[in-house]
Structure 1
């Protein structure tokens, strides 16, 4: 039995997120496990590096699974891609260490959120961005974002009000860059809470709109109350960009 590491990309528009659920089979994990089971001839489970929400996309989701496969990893990759739907692609596949686990071994993740700015609607980007018609103060958003870099309790930015585990996380970097009509927010950290990136984004948008001051961010963190933070930005603008398995900054490309 071999352990495999696979990197995936997908358009999450029509899926109910990554994690399989009891009330639907329309999840990415469910679809992939069905394909792997068909190939292996026995029930095969797959673990993802993170549980992306319904409607969230991925450019570099990492998954791990175990399979008794006699041929090469390249042949297995071809077999998998031949069975995947057109909105999911396996980018790479390799044999990993026996104990490798996509989620447990991850050291850091980078999520990217795309905001479409301007008066014209994002016709070709409508499934991959959140449209803000009003002009945003990008410099104020950058100032506000700097308050989140470092190790903090992000309870105010967690949508799971019943969260019993630690809500302390470390954000290594937040980068905000205007690319023509797209304002791209990049968040890199050692882990993220349920809807944390979307709530951080919604809060920064409110700063950009002048509804909040950058100086309020430390107060929001200290409140440890979801009601203190901004709105939850829609899932369609969010993408899991990359997962790191070395300490961030060591052997990785900095944003």
Structure 2
């Protein structure tokens, strides 16, 4: 996929459609529809309904919290009427607020599901580490004026890789039935004044990444050592853990699917990190039961239960 792709305006697209969506979450209660506050889902469903002239219900690859951004949120819906590729993209964008945009749309088979077929989700947390407060980047980075040791943060984070009980890093109101998650990788790198926490896993608990980043910043400041994250995880108690990092620095940058779905590849966001040159889907997925199960490959009964 190139950065500039021709959008077909003649061929009607029907059946199940997948879309890539980008949004600035600053003004929303999060992805999911809520009656008492604006949501990304509600805005997108309203815009799609205007294009289709009938209500449309959408499903997303994952939910983001209030104030969290996304550069590759994958959604799907069953198109109630035929519209061209150009109409679905440009028509929807014409009816969306400026902080939400559709990047692409493609036809998928009826058994595709943006949430249940996802093999992994990837986030990037961006810290601006400099003495003066941010101006142009203020809505999509978290400012830290104390010097951070990114190498120490990276070393401490490696204790989280693999399948663990992340009770110490889940919000008190988390509704997940289990605190167990599988982190495929977590990396911390410095790029000039930017310190980036890059993390991928099968799924994440409520506030999990922000709670991890809060603890990593404590390590980066030199207040705790390399074993700090391992010690917190062993406690299995959120009340004894560290602070929650602000939402503004967190970006949902990739939702990974098996190659046979044929979803478009694109530069990994946010655009603030475009100089890294990485595209979606470049990291290899671990050989684990959940990935194999969602790819539709046969597993032993004991593996399916994990």
Alignment TM-score, normalising by the size of structure 1: 0.93
**1:66-91 residue CA offsets vs partner (Å, 9 max, x unmatched):** 11232323332221122111111111
**What is residue 267 of structure 2 aligned with on the other side?**
none
Q: CA deviation at 1:107?
A: 0.6
**What is residue 253 of structure 1 aligned with on the other side?**
282
Q: CA deviation at 1:252?
A: 2.7
2:253 maps to 1:241: yes
**What is residue 239 of structure 2 aligned with on the other side?**
227
Helix, strand or coil for the counterpart of 1:68? Answer: strand
**1:89-111 residue CA offsets vs partner (Å, 9 max, x unmatched):** 11110111112221111110110
Change (3 A) 1:39 1:97: same
Q: How far apart, in 2, do the equivalents of 1:150 and 1:164 lie? A: 19
Runs of 4+ in structure 1 deviating by more than 3 angstroms, as ranges, are 160-164
Structure 2 stretches lacking a partner, 5+ long: 1-13, 260-279, 285-306
Q: How far apart, in 2, do the equivalents of 1:77 and 1:128 lie? A: 25
Q: Which has the higher contact order (CA 8 A, sep 6+)?
A: 1
**1:187-244 residue CA offsets vs partner (Å, 9 max, x unmatched):** 1111100010100100100111122222132221121111232111000000001110
Structure 1 stretches lacking a partner, 5+ long: none
Q: Is the 8 A contact 1:56 1:237 kept in 2?
A: yes
Change (3 A) 1:75 1:37: closer
Q: How far apart, in 1, do the equivalents of 2:172 and 2:15 lie? A: 36
Aligned residues: 251
**1:139-190 residue CA offsets vs partner (Å, 9 max, x unmatched):** 2111110001111111111103464511111111112111111111111111
**1:26-80 residue CA offsets vs partner (Å, 9 max, x unmatched):** 1000111112222223321111111111111111111111112323233322211
| Selected match of 2:227 from 212, 215, 223 | 215
2:78 maps to 1:78: no
Pairs within 5 Å for 1:104-143: 104-143=116-155
Q: How far apart, in 1, do the equivalents of 2:282 and 2:240 lie? A: 34
Pairs within 5 Å for 1:14-93: 14-24=27-37, 26-93=38-105
Helix, strand or coil for the counterpart of 1:214? Answer: coil
**What is residue 7 of structure 2 aligned with on the other side?**
none
Alignment TM-score, normalising by the size of structure 2: 0.78
Q: How far apart, in 2, do the equivalents of 1:5 and 1:142 lie? A: 35
2:187 maps to 1:175: yes
User: How big is the alpha-carbon RMSD for the aligned residues of Structure 1 and Structure 2?
Assistant: 1.8
Q: Is the 8 A contact 2:151 2:189 kept in 1?
A: no
Q: Relative to structure 2, which stretch is displaced further, 192-201 or 34-43? A: 34-43
